[in-house]
Structure 1
């Protein structure tokens, strides 16, 4: 039902990269669709949210209305409404609440500092990474006098290298801004492919994180349709909508 990383093995930190299994939604949303913005039956989405809350033992799980931006909200108090305003990340030192990110090919990235004081989650596809949302997440820690070398990050399941075909213009756009991104591309059968996971790890290192403090869940959301929702796969199948996977981090 979920994946975890050994990087976050500490007593007061828990995290989950949920799959699409274990919920009640039907059809293209089968079964653990957590996308409140999807066209799925809202009653089923609420049931799925409650399933996750029971599994995680969390009464509140905050998410944001994601817009492929570089905006990160700092959560300083509890709110009744658990879906916050437009942003693509949450940063907090609040205990006993979950903060989460919804994805369907883009990468969820979870952060914690060495002292487990602040946690952060961000949504990063190529757009977010291009707009430096990863650097913005690290800046949140720096404002709290926490150096980048003291931050641990885990990149969750996302679309894989062999599944992400892109255009020449896309490659040109990325490379013009990030000169070290050449290894993130490959050409095969006259097609260009993009390694989103590698690109994100590059951005984490460029933001000051130690490579040994970065981990990732090596799962391709496009290929593993039995485990994950995939925007690209749904588009290729001419489906009208798609479900979303939820990734959560919490501190006690």
Structure 2
């Protein structure tokens, strides 16, 4: 059976939303469950059906995604035709009510945002590079360009790899700190181990600094629960492939 997680602040804001995992769906083998990515090697017909199941679970509106490239680029969907899936970007914002915005992940952080008063929503994909380069800030700015106010934006972080399981090493830490010295607080090194980076805590801190209305981290770790979520890092450690889950938001 298909299932998804929700957060009260978004639900109370009156939007359709869900952080989906791998439960349900028609994919099999390495991609068993609700894989929504065409780029993993799964059967395209299975991915089509899985995406249809996601849309149906949230009312049946068209599901809009983009080609995610670990950037800080945001696409605003205004009037006219829906964007092609080949558009390279890592976030979507809109004030339209005739679509669902979707972000694919398998360890990176899916971010959902809504200003219920201005009726503007956003969805962003934040890997470490996109996070450090400001994908969250750019998403908030794009929402403000549509009439949102950051002090009215409710923000949620979906299933992502936790700091406990995100081992990155010294060279990674040095690269991040060169780009963003204030990120030092989000690194830790266990005894006799390599550096770890707490991506969700980094994003939550940035959201607080931006002054959004509230910040919710679901606290769900993709790596720690491979039966429930697709995890690229877990699959790599197991020398196999994996799919992608989706986080979705849309105005009712």
Q: TM-score range by the shorter chain?
A: over 0.9
Which of the numbers 62, 65, 69 marks the counterpart of 2:64?
Answer: 62
- Which residue is 1:229 aligned to? 230
Cα distance change on mapping 1:99 and 1:82 into 2, 3 Å: farther
- Secondary structure (helix, strand or coil) at the match of 1:161 reads coil
Q: How far is 1:122 from its partner?
A: 0.5
Cα distance change on mapping 1:246 and 1:78 into 2, 3 Å: farther
> For residues 1-252 of structure 1, what are the structure 2 equivalents within 5 Å?
1-10=3-12, 12-77=14-79, 79=81, 83=85, 85-188=87-190, 189-210=192-213, 213-239=214-240, 241-252=241-252
- Secondary structure (helix, strand or coil) at the match of 1:101 reads strand
Q: Residues of 2 paired with 1:144 and 1:41: CA distance?
A: 38
Could you tell which deviates more after superposition, 43-52 or 224-233? 43-52
- 2:22, 2:33 within 8 Å by CA — same for their partners in 1? yes
Q: How far is 1:60 from its partner?
A: 0.2
Cα distance change on mapping 1:190 and 1:80 into 2, 3 Å: closer
- 1:201, 1:214 within 8 Å by CA — same for their partners in 2? yes
- Secondary structure (helix, strand or coil) at the match of 2:195 reads strand
- 1:105, 1:230 within 8 Å by CA — same for their partners in 2? yes
- Can you list the C-alpha shifts for 1:58-87, whole angstroms capped at 9, x where unaligned? 230100011111111111135366625111
Q: How far is 1:237 from its partner?
A: 1.2
Q: State the TM-score, normalizing by the size of structure 2.
A: 0.93
The structure in which a higher percent of residues are strand is 1
Q: State the TM-score, normalizing by the size of structure 1.
A: 0.93
Q: Residues of 1 paired with 2:95 and 2:122: CA distance?
A: 9
Aligned length: 249
Cα distance change on mapping 1:122 and 1:81 into 2, 3 Å: closer
Structural RMSD (CA): 1.7
- Secondary structure (helix, strand or coil) at the match of 1:8 reads helix
Q: Residues of 2 paired with 1:24 and 1:175: CA distance?
A: 42
Q: Residues of 1 paired with 2:47 and 2:174: CA distance?
A: 39
